[in-house]
């Protein structure tokens, strides 16, 4: 397997702006219909939690919404223009995107971590970390309509990608971060179909609705599940310690960052084989994808001695375009495919960096 090293190209991405948000930002979601970005600011013991609403057309904060303290994760239903934010106070705040205010507080289980939405059924799924249950919220009534028992959760792990929803099949996949399983739930009946053993320490679950394949990052590798049969197809090994991977369904590629070997693995989902390894920076941990331009962005963890970076990659050639420094402590990000901009949430800097390609120079014709 050939490892592709960085090579400077004529295309260049740069940080064009940094947007100041609240204290200790932890997550962000993007409403593709309104083009609004919602940044969850966890706050401090003396500063309350808030949500910063950013207009991506102007890249300005247009509203700051107070939410329950201890809020960390968010999800959005673009069809209803409702935003959901989970709080450690056993609540989910419901924000009306048209009014920019909290319109309901839904009581859920203790320590809600994971959060996901099915836009077609208008259901919201909340993983309650401390009692191993999933709260199912009706978006229409803003109330819990079912509580489903799921696998054990790791008390020392609180990742945000522990739930995946396939809107086409109405199946919900919930990780057991403290066990070795994925709980598969029928969204129509809110009943468990199967607890599928995938391996030790599952940390991230994502799905490709086009192929009905579910992917789980574990300590053994990337587990591939057939959504129709609920069986494991294969486990892709030799890819290191996979972080928050990304899927581009248009190109049938998965980008799996390996912070142990400092590379991004490029996987062909048709063959489930690694087709390239791209050298990145120190500890690549998160992937963001612009499906429209086929550009992949790999964010590194960074450290006190090494700054956090974001590497832009050409998805067609698997070549590194260039690397930028967005700010310290990138913890989340969203892509606006209309403007081809990436917004990274920089937790330590309390801001959001706007990363965009440098405009191409136009040739000016001179008349003689």
Distances (CA, A) of 104 to 51, 141, 158, 288, 347: 15, 10, 25, 31, 27
Indicate whether 103 pLDDT > 80.
Answer: yes
**Confidence at residue 359, expressed as pLDDT on a 0 to 100 scale:** 78
pLDDT of residue 9: 54
Q: In this structure, is the dihedral angle defined by the CA atoms of residues 130, 136, 142 and 143, taken in order, positive or negative?
A: negative
Give pTM, 2 decimals. Answer: 0.94
- pLDDT bucket at 5, cuts 50 / 70 / 90: low
CB proximity list for 140: less than 8 A, separation 6 or greater: 122
Residue 188 reports pLDDT greater than 80: yes
Q: Using alpha carbons, list the distances in angstroms from residue 49 to 52, 83, 93, 336.
A: 10, 15, 11, 25
Would you say residue 202 has pLDDT above 90? yes
Residue 6 has pLDDT above 60, yes or no: no
pLDDT at 363 (0 to 100): 47
Task: Please give the residue that has the higher pLDDT: either 120 or 282.
Answer: 120
- 258-287: string of b/e by CB count within 10 Å (b at 16+)? bbebbbbbbbebeebebebbbebbebbbbb
Contact 267, 256 (CB under 8 A): yes
**What pLDDT was estimated at residue 249?**
95
């Amino acid at each position: 397997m050939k490892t592709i090293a960085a090579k400077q190209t004529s295309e260049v991405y740069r940080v064009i702006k940094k947007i100041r948000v609240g204290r200790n930002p932890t997550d962000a979601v993007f409403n593709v219909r309104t083009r609004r970005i919602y940044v969850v600011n966890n706050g401090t013991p003396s500063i309350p939690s808030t949500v910063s609403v950013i207009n991506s057309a102007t890249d300005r904060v247009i509203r700051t919404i107070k939410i329950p303290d201890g809020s960390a994760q968010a999800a959005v239903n673009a069809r209803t223009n409702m935003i959901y934010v989970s709080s450690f106070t056993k609540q989910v705040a419901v924000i009306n995107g048209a009014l920019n205010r909290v319109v309901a507080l839904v009581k859920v289980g203790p320590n809600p971590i994971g959060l996901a939405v099915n836009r077609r059924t208008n259901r919201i799924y909340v993983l309650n970390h401390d009692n191993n249950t999933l709260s199912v919220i009706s978006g229409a009534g803003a109330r819990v309509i079912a509580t489903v028992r799921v696998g054990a959760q790791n008390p020392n792990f609180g990742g945000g990608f522990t739930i995946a929803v396939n809107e086409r099949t109405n199946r919900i996949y919930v990780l057991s971060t403290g066990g070795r399983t994925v709980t598969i739930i029928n969204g129509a009946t809110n009943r468990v179909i199967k607890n599928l053993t995938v391996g030790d320490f599952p940390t991230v679950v994502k799905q490709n609705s086009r192929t009905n394949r579910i992917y789980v990052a574990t300590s053994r590798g990337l587990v591939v599940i057939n959504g129709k049969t609920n069986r494991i197809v294969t486990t892709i090994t030799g890819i290191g310690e996979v972080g928050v991977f990304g899927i581009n369904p248009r190109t049938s590629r998965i980008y799996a960052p390996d912070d142990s070997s400092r590379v991004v693995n490029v996987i062909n989902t048709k063959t489930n084989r690694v087709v390239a390894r791209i050298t990145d920076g120190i500890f690549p941990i998160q992937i963001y994808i612009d499906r429209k331009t086929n550009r992949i962005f790999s964010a590194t963890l960074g450290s006190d001695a090494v700054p956090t970076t974001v590497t832009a990659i050409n998805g067609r050639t698997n070549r590194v375009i260039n690397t930028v420094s967005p700010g310290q402590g990138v913890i989340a990000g969203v892509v606006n495919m209309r403007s081809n901009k990436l917004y990274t949430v920089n937790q330590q800097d309390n801001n959001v960096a706007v990363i965009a390609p440098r405009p191409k120079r136009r040739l000016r014709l001179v008349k003689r």
